[in-house]
Copies of this chain bind each other. A is one copy, B any other.
Amino acid sequence: MQPHRIAELQEFYRRQLLDDVVPFWMAHGVDRQAGGFFTCLERDGQAFATDKAVWFVGRATWLYATLYRLVEPRPEWLELARHGYDFMIRHCFDDVGKMYFLVDRTGQPLRMRRYYFSEIFAALACAALAQVDDDPEIAQRARDLLATLDHVMHTPGVVEPKTNPDTRPMRSLSPAMCMLNVADALHDMEPEPRYDMMVSAAIDDVFRHFVRHDERLVLETVAPDGSFLDTLEGRTMNPGHAIETAWFILEVARRRRDTALIGRAVQIIDFSIERGWDHDDGGLFYFVDARNKPSPFIEHDMKLWWVHCEALYAALLAHHLTGEQRFADLFEKVHDYTFSHFPDREYGEWFGYLRRDGSPSTTLKGNLWKGPFHVPRALLLCWKLLDEMAA
């Protein structure tokens, strides 16, 4: 990438992050009265619901702690991270320590789910906050959450599977991806070898079971031995999810200076783009069938904000680590699509849900799934990587 282009992009991503996206969430997405964060926001930032998805308590806490750590130590960011942490501790755990999926504005429990997504983002939040706040309870909570996740992800039956394992045993990409992400975050907090072992095991799981080099595809669900399941689940590809996994692995490879691992991780990006890019209308599909059969997902052909966030950073990081021009080209292609379709030029921040043709199907800025996470994370990571590329 040319130095003048890097300089241009540095400025662009910094401004998108600090002049647009972060101010939007700081202005509209904080509940100063009852604690925690609002994420169900209309186009102009007005809240259309005040229920709080617990994973966003973690995600927003992670964001503000990380901005404080990686951008600059603005007191309001640390204060917001603590604001999220306090709400989490006070309201988001049930009697036996499992985290809720949804609480109401005041923190009363609304919904418990069998999954552990709330724990994943709480762990990431605590691991980030512990690096800027020396309260030992925070780091300990990060360790405890990792231990919980390690237990539930590796103990069959703790999370009751949706599909009867006697009839159709299956293995999913999600647990490996989660352990990779969370253990790496703990390693960032305190570089202990046991975290790195967990990371290695998760990466091994990804490549051994979910990446099929013969057919150039990355699967979400396989048989326990990694063989292909010719069923709806078994044929499902989620390019955004696979690409996110790829850059998690690339970050580990960068830290370890593991060139071979870099080479294997960028293949995940290749396979996902080959299958997932829409050659007619541009952008990445949400779900694709590995055998080109109909997708069972009603939203399969929509273009979602987070998928493109993941692709932006994965492409840039792949270019930086491999030096290959094709990843710079991919980055520019995703950048063009993303910034010509998702940002709301009138009220700031991004639309989240585009129809196949790129028109927004709703003007909301957030809901229980979209909030202050994928957009600012991608903008921050791209900006910081561009700084490194410029240096």
Name A's B-contacting residues (CB within 8 A).
40, 42, 48-49, 51, 102, 104, 108-112, 162-164, 166-168, 231-232, 293-296, 298-302, 353, 355-357, 361-364, 367-368
Which among A42, A361, A368 has the highest number of chain B CB atoms within 10 Å? Answer: A361
Q: Find chain B residues with CB under 8 A from A300 CB.
A: 361-362
In the complex the two chains form, is B164's CB within 8 Å of A294's CB?
no
Bound: A294/B369 CA distance, A: 14
In the complex the two chains form, is A168's CB within 8 Å of B294's CB?
no
Bound: A356/B357 CA distance, A: 11
Bound: A296/B299 CA distance, A: 13
Q: Find chain B residues with CB under 8 A from A112 CB.
A: 164
In the complex the two chains form, is B355's CB within 8 Å of A355's CB?
yes
Q: Find chain B residues with CB under 8 A from A164 CB.
A: 108-112
Main secondary structure of the interface of A (DSSP, over half): loop
Could you show 29 A-B contacts with beta carbons less than 8 Å apart? A40-B232, A40-B296, A42-B294, A48-B293, A49-B296, A51-B231, A102-B163, A108-B164, A108-B166, A108-B167, A109-B164, A110-B164, A110-B167, A111-B162, A111-B163, A111-B164, A112-B164, A294-B362, A294-B363, A295-B362, A296-B367, A298-B298, A298-B302, A300-B361, A300-B362, A301-B362, A355-B356, A355-B357, A357-B357
Q: Find chain B residues with CB under 8 A from A109 CB.
A: 164, 166-167
Q: Find chain B residues with CB under 8 A from A49 CB.
A: 231-232, 296
